[in-house]
């Protein structure tokens, strides 16, 4: 299969119309969202949904997120919707928040890997919203990477991973957020964040008015989000968390021969360190891809207070460091 590159930066209408045509025909198409690129298929077309698992090499028991273009579309994919959903939607939709609801049983079970719940989000990206609206029904869209690779933040990343395996990818430029949406489950006694993202625990607590817990990743034997049991992406290089520039200098001096990448949110205070790569949520996944492509052996990440206080970014960094 030849993967079509649809340029939505120069001709958005043509790109959106072609993407919608392919999706309606049961094909799988990559498209931009504000978080990361998604790999879309019609949620109600079971065969199309299966193509997503095949293209990504995704385990069959890892459920997908359904993307909607308006809040009222939620009733097409979910049932018995709690009031909290509408309060969260009012505050954060469209945006980087995914909410776990009861699945409308008309939606094929394969979407949720057999669970009776369903993950729903409305992306804050004009192109994504227009594609969903043009198709006229909700789209499932996991991140558009091969399983085991970081989420893509450019159309080129999608091509690098999936060229020849999907019908098309819509190029809408760089994703502005760069890491995946916050996932919150509001079906239990206390809402629980399953994956941290730009929308924080405090943001959600302020809207819902009750405390929200955060899944810590360790104490759960049976995973609540099935994806949690899979080994997380980690670059081939050894990832080390650094507390200061002094520690970085010390690490370099102990073993000067390593091919090393330094990731930092700020410039190095020493002229001896000439190359520092940027560290923030927008760049982290593309820098990990660069580290693999350029065969770095070690990645030193400077964890300043700004980085440490960014729960979502630290979550991706610690996962990359431990591979869990």
Whole-number minimum distance, CB 153 to Mg ion, in Å?
A: 12
CB of 62 or CB of 174, closer to ligand TXA = 62
Whole-number minimum distance, CB 247 to ligand TXA, in Å?
A: 32
- State the Cα–Cα distance between residues 5 and 48, nearest whole angstrom: 19
CB of 183 or CB of 262, closer to ligand TXA = 183
Residue 23 Cα distances to 16, 55, 223, 237, angstroms: 10, 15, 32, 37
- C-alpha closest to that of 258 among 267, 248, 266, 268: 248
Q: Is-contact 35 199, C-beta < 8 A? A: no
CB of 179 or CB of 237, closer to ligand TXA = 179
- 45 touching Mg ion, by CB under 5 A: no
Contacted by 115, from ligand TXA, Mg ion, none: CB < 5 to 8 Å by type: ligand TXA
- C-alpha closest to that of 4 among 151, 23, 123, 146: 23
CB of 18 or CB of 67, closer to ligand TXA = 67
User: What does the binding site for ligand TXA look like in residue numbers (CB under 6 A)?
Assistant: 33, 35-36, 38, 62-65, 98, 100, 112, 115, 117-119, 121, 123, 141-143, 180-181, 183, 194, 225-227
- State the Cα–Cα distance between residues 143 and 44, nearest whole angstrom: 19
Contacted by 98, from Mg ion, ligand TXA, none: CB < 5 to 8 Å by type: ligand TXA
Residue 64: how many CA atoms within 13 Å on its side-chain side? Answer: 34
CB of 15 or CB of 320, closer to Mg ion = 320
**According to CB under 5 A, which residues from 118 to 147 bind Mg ion?**
143
Whole-number minimum distance, CB 143 to Mg ion, in Å?
A: 3
- DSSP-based three-state secondary structure for 323: coil
Total of chain residues touching Mg ion, rule CB under 5 A: 1
Contacted by 171, from ligand TXA, Mg ion, none: CB < 5 to 8 Å by type: none
Cα torsion 246, 248, 251, 255: sign: negative
Chain centroid to Cα 239, Å, comes to 20
Residue 45: how many CA atoms within 13 Å on its side-chain side? Answer: 21
Positions that interact with Mg ion (CB under 5 A): 143
């Amino acid at each position: 299969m030849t993967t079509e590159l649809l340029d939505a930066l120069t001709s958005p209408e043509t790109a959106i119309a072609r993407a919608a045509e392919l999706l309606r025909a049961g094909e799988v198409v990559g498209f931009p969202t504000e978080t990361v690129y998604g790999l879309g298929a019609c949620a109600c077309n079971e065969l199309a949904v299966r193509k997503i698992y095949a293209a990504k090499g995704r385990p069959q028991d890892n459920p997908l997120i359904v993307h909607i273009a308006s809040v009222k579309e939620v009733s097409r994919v979910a049932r018995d919707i709690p009031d909290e959903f509408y309060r969260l939607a009012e505050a954060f939709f469209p945006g980087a928040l995914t909410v776990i609801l009861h699945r409308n049983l008309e939606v094929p079970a394969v979407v949720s890997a057999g669970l009776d719940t369903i993950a729903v989000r409305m992306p804050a990206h004009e192109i994504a919203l227009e594609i969903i609206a043009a198709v006229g029904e909700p789209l499932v869209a996991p991140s558009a990477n091969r399983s085991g690779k970081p989420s893509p933040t450019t159309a080129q990343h999608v091509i690098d991973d999936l060229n020849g395996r999907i019908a098309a990818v819509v190029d809408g430029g760089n994703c502005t957020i760069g890491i995946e949406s916050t996932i919150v489950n509001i079906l239990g006694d206390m809402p629980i964040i399953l994956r941290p993202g730009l929308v924080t625990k405090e943001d959600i607590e302020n809207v819902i008015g009750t405390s929200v817990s955060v899944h810590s990743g360790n104490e759960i034997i049976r995973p609540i989000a099935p994806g949690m049991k899979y080994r997380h992406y980690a670059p081939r290089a050894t990832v080390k968390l650094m507390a200061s520039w002094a520690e970085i200098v010390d690490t370099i001096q102990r073993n000067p021969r390593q091919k090393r990448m330094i990731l930092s949110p700020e410039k190095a205070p020493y002229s001896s360190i000439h190359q520092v790569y940027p560290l923030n949520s927008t760049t982290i996944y593309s820098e990990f891809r660069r580290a693999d492509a350029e065969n770095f052996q070690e990645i030193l990440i400077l964890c300043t207070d700004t980085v440490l206080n960014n729960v979502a970014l630290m979550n991706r960094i610690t996962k990359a460091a431990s591979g869990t």
